[in-house]
Amino acid sequence: MFVVHNRISAPTENADAFEESFVASMRTTLEGVPGLVRSTLMKPAGGEHPYVSTMEFDSRDSFLAWMKSDSFKAAHANVDAPGMQMPSSIESFTIVEDVRA
């Protein structure tokens, strides 16, 4: 499993607009993406911490293929959408162990 985190610094005064826009984009651009297992948007529990968007793919190759896809282009096409101008930081990981209760 290949996991990507995107930490997005959305200001609190734009939080509702950011969430609405981001979630709408997820719902319209991610359905049927090959190799995508799960995608989440997590809201900070308090303070000015960044939002975290997480995407879980079955492999790194699936993630790289998504980055070249029409789905990726569509998800990032509206540069005026709330949050698109915000600083972000991308991190990627390969899962070593996954223990489920």
C-alpha torsion 90→47→40→64, nearest 10: 0
Q: Give residue limits of the domains in the chain.
A: 2-94
| CATH T-level topology, domain 2-94 | Alpha-Beta Plaits (3.30.70)
Residue 49's pLDDT is: 80
> pLDDT of the chain along its 101 residues, tens only?
999 999 998 877 888 888 999 999 999 999 999 999 999 999 988 767 899 999 999 999 999 999 999 888 888 887 777 777 777 899 999 999 999 99
